[in-house]
Structure 1
Amino acid sequence: MTRVQVVVVGAGVVGFSTAVCIAEALPFCSVTLLADKFSPHTTSDGAAGILFAAQFPDIPLERQRRWFKSSFDHLRDIAQSQHSPEAGVMLSSGWQIFRDVPAVKEPFWSDLVIGFRFMTDGELKRFPDHKFGHAFTTIKCECSSYLPWLERRFRAAGGQVQQRKVNSLQELSSSYDVIVNCSGLGSKLLAGDDELHPVRGQVLKVEAPWLQHFIRDGDGKTYIYPGIHCVTIGGTRQEGDWRLEVDAGESKSILERCGGLEPSVAKARVVGEWVGLRPSRRNPRVEREVVQLRGRGVPVVHNYGHGGWGVTLAWGTAMDALGLVRRCLQETSPRAKL
């Protein structure tokens, strides 16, 4: 029996999550992952990787909750297993603080994390410039470990990996039955998506083992996230900025802002600086279409545009992408048991 040929384009956290979901759920498919960059050179590698979420304007809230819950439950299972150290996944407790009381006090994911509550007045005294806050436990996922771990899991499921730059979907049309596009910012070219744009992020990695709790300013630009090997502090959110070079002025600003939240940051040794471009659009694109490529209609499943929430939503949108692949195959082979 000829195996169905599926290709996944992109080796970030969304691409590998999607490839693993397909390879493990559809063993009759031959799944190949193509990308020009792999860990440690992907945008995902430098991400803080802590699970929060923004609310997207045009996606049903229940679907966003499902994405978040799927990802949270998947990563929590890893964090509480023997795989936690090698996968780089851990539970992380701390505070999200606000200078003013937000219009919506409880985010839509508040019941999906662990132990969510409002901070007490006593806790807020530590942050005199802030009037309101959340305390809870979430997940931190360090992609420099998690991506290689996912790649091993993908290969164990029979997946194949090739390093190759894909310049157009036409290149793939003669070799694959289904194309799954997880190319992040690359979708600006591959999918002709003019809505997609970069949001530049710069962070520092510091050595500060005494820091045990995350602190995140509600503006999303200043944060301290302790991890397994180091602490990630940041950051920047610069719309439409394509610069990949480290900006010394931004590094200084990050140290000053984070020192304002946690004075001991001044004693931390900087061990790395990193810049990445978040693939952003008004809403993530998780949908399918049939594209005419070299004279035939080829099913294409898109899963990209997560912005700064790639780690947070990757497993959830990967499960949706798997469902879309199933539907593509069901339509081409109605009798297939998918």
Structure 2
Amino acid sequence: MQRERVAVVGAGVVGFSTAVCVAEALPSCSVTLLAEKFSPHTTSDGAAGILFAGEFPDIPMETQRRWFKSSFDHLLDIAQSQHSPEAGVMLSSGFNIFKDAPEDKKPFWSDLVIGFRLMTDSELKRFPDHKFGQAFTTIKCECSSYLPWLEKRFRTAGGQVEQRKVNSLQELSNSYDVIVNCSGLGSKLLVGDDQMHPVRGQVLQVEAPWLKHFIRDADGKTYIYPGIRWATIGGTRQEGDWRLQADDGETKSILERCGGLEPSIGKAKVLGEWVGLRPSRRNPRVEREVARLRGRRVPVVHNYGHGAYGVTLAWGTALDALGLVRRSLQEASPQARL
């Protein structure tokens, strides 16, 4: 019996998470991941990788909670295992601080992270411009380690990897039974999604081993995230900005803003700069359609558009995408035991 063939397009954290989920859950399938760029050249590679979620306006809250919880639990298992250093996954504790108290003092994910509480007045004295704060332990997932680790796990599950630029889903129509689109910002051209737009982010990697706690300004533009090999400090959120080169003025601004929260940043050695374009849209697209490609009806499962929350939600949306792949194969072959 011929094995069903699944293509996953995209080698960022969403693409590899989805490919691993499909390859491990459906061993009867042949799964191939195709991408033009792999780690260390993906958008995911430079992400700070801290598990922290915003709210999407049109997605049921129970779905957003499930995505967050699935990703958190998956990464927590890795952080507490022997694979933690190789996978680049660690526990991270710290503070999310606000200039003014928010309307919702406890976000939807507050009971899904570890030890969530409100900051005390004495803790807030350290940040005189801020009136309110939340303290908790979450997870930091460094994709420059995590993506190669996921690729190894994918290959162990029998997955195949092919480096090629996919210009059109038509190219894949005769070779695969199901196509999974995890092309991020590339979906703007690949599937004509006009909702997709870049949100430019610039960060610095600095050597500051004395920093043990993250600090995040709740506006999402200034943050310090200590990691395994360096601290990531940032940043910028520039809607519709396609520039990929680092901006010296923004580097200076990042150092000044982060120095305002943590004065010792001034003593940190700058190891590198990084710019990435977050693949943003109003809501992530996690859904299935049946496309007519070169005369064939081919199920296409979409999983993209996570914006700044790719690392946070990747495993959760990958599990949903797996369900859509399974359904597509079952409908194509009702007798198939998947």
Q: TM-score, normalised by structure 2?
A: 1.00
Q: Within 1, Cα distance between the matches of 2:300 and 2:224?
A: 39
Give the CA deviation at 1:333.
1.1
Matched to 1:166, the amino acid is: V
Q: Does 1:80 align with 2:103?
A: no
Q: Within 2, Cα distance between the matches of 1:329 and 1:60?
A: 26
Matched to 2:172, the amino acid is: L
Give the CA deviation at 1:139.
0.1
Question: 1:28-79: CA deviations, max 9, x gaps?
Answer: 0000000000000000000000000000000000000000000000000000
Q: Within 1, Cα distance between the matches of 2:173 and 2:93?
A: 46
Please state whether the residue corresponding to 2:19 is helix, strand or coil: helix
The aligned counterpart of 1:115 is 115
Q: How does 1:110-149 map to 2 (within 5 A)?
A: 110-149=110-149
Matched to 1:207, the amino acid is: E
Give the CA deviation at 1:335.
2.1
Please state whether the residue corresponding to 2:300 is helix, strand or coil: strand
Gaps of 5+ in 1: none
Please state whether the residue corresponding to 1:3 is helix, strand or coil: coil
Q: Does 1:43 align with 2:43?
A: yes
The aligned counterpart of 1:182 is 182
Q: Within 1, Cα distance between the matches of 2:235 and 2:103?
A: 24
Please state whether the residue corresponding to 1:279 is helix, strand or coil: strand
Give the CA deviation at 1:191.
1.1
Please state whether the residue corresponding to 1:8 is helix, strand or coil: strand
Gaps of 5+ in 2: none
Please state whether the residue corresponding to 2:257 is helix, strand or coil: helix
The aligned counterpart of 2:302 is 302
Please state whether the residue corresponding to 1:282 is helix, strand or coil: coil
Q: How does 1:217-256 map to 2 (within 5 A)?
A: 217-256=217-256
Q: Does 1:91 align with 2:91?
A: yes
The aligned counterpart of 2:196 is 196
Question: 1:112-140: CA deviations, max 9, x gaps?
Answer: 00000000001000100000000000000
Q: Within 2, Cα distance between the matches of 1:316 and 1:3?
A: 26
Q: Within 2, Cα distance between the matches of 1:191 and 1:67?
A: 24
Give the CA deviation at 1:81.
0.1
Q: How does 1:323-334 map to 2 (within 5 A)?
A: 323-334=323-334
**How many residue pairs end up in the alignment?**
338
Question: 1:243-302: CA deviations, max 9, x gaps?
Answer: 000000000000000000000000000000000000000000000000000011100000
Q: Within 2, Cα distance between the matches of 1:254 and 1:90?
A: 24
Give the CA deviation at 1:334.
1.4
Percent identity between the two aligned chains: 84
The aligned counterpart of 2:151 is 151
Q: Within 2, Cα distance between the matches of 1:316 and 1:2?
A: 30
The aligned counterpart of 1:320 is 320
Matched to 1:221, the amino acid is: K
Q: Within 1, Cα distance between the matches of 2:337 and 2:120?
A: 54
Question: 1:163-197: CA deviations, max 9, x gaps?
Answer: 00000000000100000000001100111100000
Please state whether the residue corresponding to 1:283 is helix, strand or coil: coil
Alignment root-mean-square deviation, CA: 0.4
Q: Within 1, Cα distance between the matches of 2:213 and 2:263?
A: 14
Matched to 2:10, the amino acid is: G
The aligned counterpart of 1:257 is 257
Q: TM-score, normalised by structure 1?
A: 1.00
Q: Within 2, Cα distance between the matches of 1:253 and 1:187?
A: 32
Q: Within 1, Cα distance between the matches of 2:201 and 2:191?
A: 24
Q: Does 1:19 align with 2:19?
A: yes
Please state whether the residue corresponding to 2:210 is helix, strand or coil: coil
Please state whether the residue corresponding to 1:209 is helix, strand or coil: coil
Give the CA deviation at 1:4.
0.3
The aligned counterpart of 2:69 is 69
Q: Within 1, Cα distance between the matches of 2:292 and 2:324?
A: 18
Q: Within 2, Cα distance between the matches of 1:335 and 1:174?
A: 22
Give the CA deviation at 1:337.
2.1
Give the CA deviation at 1:86.
0.2
Q: Within 2, Cα distance between the matches of 1:333 and 1:134?
A: 50
Matched to 1:144, the amino acid is: S
